[in-house]
Amino acid sequence: MNVCTLRSLGLSQNNFTEDIQTILHNLSSGCVRNSLQDLDLSYNGITGTLPDLSAITSLKTLDFSSNQLSGKILEGSSLPFQLKELDIRSNSLEGGIPKSFWMNACMLKSLDLSNNRFRK
């Protein structure tokens, strides 16, 4: 992922079944983490627990909707500072959302958490 000028990556509806941790590690390990603004991984079979997203510092829109994400959002996880839109609807995420997750959410304008198992 050393495509230092990549701004948008659309990979929806590709039947990916990788773990979300692996995907995000690959995206955050090269210079793409400083250029990628829009990431769409919706409608795949991506598994795992939603990790800390702050490593991909330039993200403005992030769509993980309609995958197989599960478990709780871990304490200490946070959003990228520039993030404006987050869509994680239609997964199996559960539990509460830690305060740390919202720590960098100053720019967030659109949020869809529907069709998960978050507690009130």
79 within domain boundaries: yes
Q: Which residue has the higher pLDDT, 86 or 34?
A: 86
Whole-prediction pTM:
0.92
Q: Does a structural domain hold residue 3?
A: no
Count of structural domains, the chain = 1
Task: Tell me the residue range of the domain where 14 lies.
Answer: 8-118
* pLDDT score of 84: 97
Q: What is the mean pLDDT of the chain?
A: 92
Structure tokens at 26: 């690959």
Which of the two residues, 29 and 49, has the higher pLDDT score? 49
Is residue 2 domain-resident? Answer: no
Specify the pLDDT at position 1: 56
The verdict on residue 1 lying in a domain is no
Confidence of residue 108 (pLDDT cuts 50, 70, 90): very high
Dist CA 27 CA 32 (whole Å): 6
**Mean pLDDT over residues 81-109, rounded?**
94
pLDDT at 120: 67
What single string gives the DSSP state of each residue in 12-60? -SS----BHHHHHHHHHSSGGGGT--EEE--SS--EE-----TTSTT--
Find the CATH number of the domain harbouring 18.
3.80.10.10
Does residue 84 contact residue 61 with C-beta atoms inside 8 Å? Answer: yes
